Amino acid sequence: MAGLAYTLGKREINYYFSVRSAKALALGAVLLLAACHAASRRYRGDDTCEYLLSSGRFLGEKVWQPHSCMMHKYKNSEAKNCLIDKHIVFLGDSRIRQLFYSFIKIINPQVKEEGNKHGNIPFEDKSASIKVDFLWYPEVNGSMRQRIKSWTEGSVAKPHIIVAGAATWSIKIHNGSNEALTQYKINITSVAPLLEKLAKTSDVYWILQDPVNEDMLSESRKMITNEKINAYNEAAVRILNSSSRNSKAKVKVFSVSKLIAQETIMKSSDGLHLPESSRDTNAMILMNVYCNKIMKPIDGSCCQPQPPLTLIQKLAFCFFTLSIVGYFVISIIHRNNYRKNKSCTDLEIGEEKKPTISTPNVSTLEMLLHCFCKLGLIMTYFYLCDRANLFMKENKFYTHSSFFIPIVYILVLGVFYTENTKETKVLNREQTDEWKGWMQLVILIYHISGASTFLPVYMHIRVLVAAYLFQTGYGHFSYFWIKGDFGVYRVCQVLFRLNFLVVVLCIVMDRPYQFYYFVPLVTVWFMIIYATLAMWPQIVQKKANGNCLWHFGLLLKLICLLACIYFLSYSQGAFEKVFSFWPLSKCFELNGNVYEWWFRWKLDRYVVFHGMLFAFIYLALQKHQMISEGKGDPLFSSRVSNVLLFISIVSFLTYSIWASSCKNKAECNELHPSVSVVQILAFILIRNIPGYVRSVYSSFFAWFGKISLELFICQYHIWLAADTKGILVLIPGYPMFNVIVSTFIFVCVAHEISQITNDLAQIVVPKDNSTLLKRLLCIAGFFSGLLFFSAMQEQSRH
């Protein structure tokens, strides 16, 4: 009864919610969300600096998240590059002095808080010609006005950045009197025009007063109440924002510190001054406000303008626009012709003839334009998500629950959709799709939760990436070994399916090929496998069955491959020489060198070889009927199966214990290439030795496995944000609902791209050799043009 209910439940879900209806719903959601965000930007403005200076929330205890944008954590080298030859002045009381120290510690972390607390404090970094001064002006009075006025006079060099603020001393000295507040208003009114004049050439920030913890204040500070502070802040905001002259050269009001203080003032040592972590956050916000537009960090979307379209992006836009127009024109013409031919009436006898065409005949050109039409719309969504400032972005923040709870959810769903396999061979198609699917889902959760900061999770994810490459070695070796098909068609089909989406994204998103590192990795390994097996003498299963010596010849090839891998992994210079030749360098360089490519390749250098070797051993055992792959049968005899199963479980757990005890990422990465195969082989044996386990699979995981490559690539821009550094925010204020909606759209897009790629592969890579050769010449011309325009683009940038 339970089984019947289970089957009927799945049928109901599949009946009412098909892939087609899901995609239609996703399209409607995208259009609605885009319209809402566009309207919101128009109404509220799209200046993310305003959000950075005025709003946000804490993720955890110490991580500050500005509203709608991402904040970059500047290193001292980056800060120096941004502030080179700059003069910064902090003007105010003891709270401003604290902010001054936090700011200069970004430039030089070794600075100690020394010097006269109630006097001026200079700082200079001679290596970058940076001057940062703290000027002690605890009250907004004539002295402060005179100092600010001196900078407005032509003969005096103006600071590039001015950070000012004061009020608590006025409250304290005058015992919180109303007369003091009135005088404060008069004084700040006289200072405001001078600040506005400076703001035309310098960046001027007015720091509002943070709340206090009244219970912790000393007796001499009891008159400093939050009510008084609010009154002073309201006066400052009203006066600084009242002048019409402030419309263009605006004095920036730094009000976000109040929000930060409300959450952290309880940790203050004296009730007045903020704890160090809060001061550091304020200093980092200041750094982001000024430096993001200069340094343009990927993970610092606050205060960054939308990047201008490159020449190649403009050409891509024109191409997709023409494809959309062309498709609609051809589609209309084709349908009109179809309608004319559908109903042909014989006028003489008054009878209606049968239609000459029963269904519209879709031409190759129309199918091609239809694919590019859909792809153009999808790429527009990619661009809006991660290059335009339409949708919001947020920083990642890792908690154990944000990673492990979703893992439990997908595990339950995977078990719910368990079905019998069509075949019970080891690593059959359904099983490998399932394996790819659950691994991809785990990797996606790992990325969106920011779990890379937790080393045990990172090490296990590295095994999953290695398992993908293991399958690359296993799958391609098995195909070439069994089929013996080394034709150009097979190679082109694989290369097209692997690289099509990435090439399009490189063009549309203006990113280098190596940025999507996994695709170059599997592409190069495919070519290595192909070259190893296709080179003379070609040894395939059919040939080896006739003479066992050919098996030793193949093993010799594999040993030579292993020796080459070993040499290149320990000879960085030789590796870089191979991939630094033009035009290979255009594919594998990142930030001007191929080090990142060498690091990625070296990290899983042996696992593809392990996959090839496993395929060879498994196919040999299968050929000699040394394993049993019948439905429900254990893979080996009961005794051997039990022993291997026990060893596999122990090996699997041993690796997990080792990975969980890792303390140093660099050391663990060094061991990973040699030991990752242990857990991979253990998993394969656990999954395949028991016959009942081998006879079932999860159709839920297998469905995702079929689009795993598209999921991995698409996540860069339409699920994550800022090139994977952050999270895309479609629905602000509701994190869980946002993840559900963005995930739904993301999966639908990935599935549609997978179908587009398959359709285009049939058109672009035909089986006919002469036609294929013509297409290859066209593709070569396309990439030549791409290299030419890329060179023009680089020249214009420099």
Given the residues 77, 218, 270, 580, select the one marked as catalytic.
270
Residue type present at position 334: H
Query: Are 574 and 654 in the same domain?
Result: yes
Query: Are 399 and 545 in the same domain?
Result: yes
Query: Are 266 and 371 in the same domain?
Result: no
**Confidence label for 244 from pLDDT (cuts 50, 70 and 90):** very low
* C-alpha triplet 96, 101, 102: angle, nearest 5°: 95
Is pLDDT at 499 greater than 90 in this prediction? yes
* C-alpha triplet 395, 396, 402: angle, nearest 5°: 150
**Confidence label for 546 from pLDDT (cuts 50, 70 and 90):** confident
Query: Are 478 and 384 in the same domain?
Result: yes
| Residue-level pLDDT at 334 | 81
| Residue-level pLDDT at 347 | 37
**Confidence label for 204 from pLDDT (cuts 50, 70 and 90):** very high
**Rounded to a whole number, what is the distance in angstroms from the first to the last CA of the chain?**
72
Query: Are 249 and 384 in the same domain?
Result: no
Given the residues 94, 243, 452, 656, select the one marked as catalytic.
94
Query: Considering the domain boundaries, does residue 45 fall inside one?
Result: no
**DSSP states of 672-688:** HHHHHHHHHHHHHHHHH
Tens of pLDDT, residue by residue over 363-404, are 889 999 999 999 999 999 999 999 988 999 999 999 999 999
238-247, 339-348, 478-487: range with highest mean pLDDT:
478-487
Is pLDDT at 349 greater than 60 in this prediction? no
H and E: helices and strands count for the chain: 31, 15
Backbone angles phi, psi at 254, to 5 degrees: -90, 85
The Cα–Cα gap between 564 and 580 comes to 18
> Any long-range contacts for 556-564 (C-beta under 8 Å, 24+ apart)?
557/532, 557/533, 558/532, 558/609, 558/612, 558/613, 558/616, 561/528, 561/532, 561/609, 561/612, 562/606, 562/609
Mean pLDDT of the chain, nearest integer: 91
Given the residues 273, 447, 610, 717, select the one marked as catalytic.
273
Query: Considering the domain boundaries, does residue 302 fall inside one?
Result: no
Query: Are 262 and 404 in the same domain?
Result: no
Query: Considering the domain boundaries, does residue 354 fall inside one?
Result: no
Domain boundary among 295, 310, 339: 295
**Confidence label for 1 from pLDDT (cuts 50, 70 and 90):** very low
Yes or no: say if 204 and 252 are a contact pair by the CB < 8 Å rule.
Answer: yes
What is the number of structural domains in the chain? Answer: 2
The Cα–Cα gap between 111 and 130 comes to 14
Query: Considering the domain boundaries, does residue 407 fall inside one?
Result: yes
Question: Which residue's structure tokens are 């010097």?
Answer: 115
Work out the angle between the directed axes of helices 638-660 and 665-688 (0-180°, nearest 10).
Answer: 160
Query: Are 623 and 747 in the same domain?
Result: yes
| Residue-level pLDDT at 358 | 44
| Residue-level pLDDT at 794 | 81
**Percent share of the chain, pLDDT over 90:** 80
Identify the CATH number of the domain in which residue 287 sits.
Answer: 3.40.50.1110
Q: HSE on the CB side for 9, CA within 13 Å?
A: 10
Residue 78 domain boundaries: 53-295
Is residue 346 classed as helix, strand or coil in its secondary structure? strand
Least confident interval from 184-198, 355-369, 504-518: 355-369
Domain boundary among 280, 295, 310: 295
- Runs of H (alpha helix) within 343-418: 364-386, 400-416
Cα distances (angstroms) measured from residue 86 to each of 91, 130, 132, 286: 16, 5, 8, 14
The Cα–Cα gap between 477 and 178 comes to 85
Decide which of 417 and 116 is more confident.
Answer: 417
| Residue-level pLDDT at 662 | 87
Q: HSE on the CB side for 601, CA within 13 Å?
A: 24
Strand partners, 204: 162
**Residue 670: Cβ within 10 Å count:** 12
| Residue-level pLDDT at 245 | 45
**Percent share of the chain, pLDDT over 70:** 94
Is pLDDT at 530 greater than 70 in this prediction? yes
Is pLDDT at 345 greater than 50 in this prediction? no
- Rg over CA atoms, the chain: 33
| Residue-level pLDDT at 636 | 93
| Residue-level pLDDT at 631 | 87
**Confidence label for 246 from pLDDT (cuts 50, 70 and 90):** very low
Q: Is 133 a catalytic residue?
A: no
Query: Considering the domain boundaries, does residue 383 fall inside one?
Result: yes
Is pLDDT at 633 greater than 60 in this prediction? yes
Mean pLDDT of 79-85: 96
Yes or no: say if 699 and 706 are a contact pair by the CB < 8 Å rule.
Answer: no
Query: Considering the domain boundaries, does residue 149 fall inside one?
Result: yes
Taking Cα atoms as reference points, which of 496, 497, 412 lies closest to residue 708?
A: 497
The Cα–Cα gap between 54 and 49 comes to 9
| pTM summary value | 0.92
Query: Are 287 and 399 in the same domain?
Result: no
Query: Considering the domain boundaries, does residue 483 fall inside one?
Result: yes
Domain boundary among 295, 311, 345: 295
| Residue-level pLDDT at 547 | 84
- Runs of H (alpha helix) within 241-298: 256-264, 276-295
Q: Is 660 a catalytic residue?
A: no
Decide which of 341 and 424 is more confident.
Answer: 424
Query: Are 283 and 378 in the same domain?
Result: no
Query: Are 125 and 271 in the same domain?
Result: yes
| Residue-level pLDDT at 13 | 55
Residue type present at position 648: S
Q: Is 270 a catalytic residue?
A: yes
Q: How many residues does the chain have?
A: 798
Query: Considering the domain boundaries, does residue 79 fall inside one?
Result: yes
Mean pLDDT of 732-752: 95
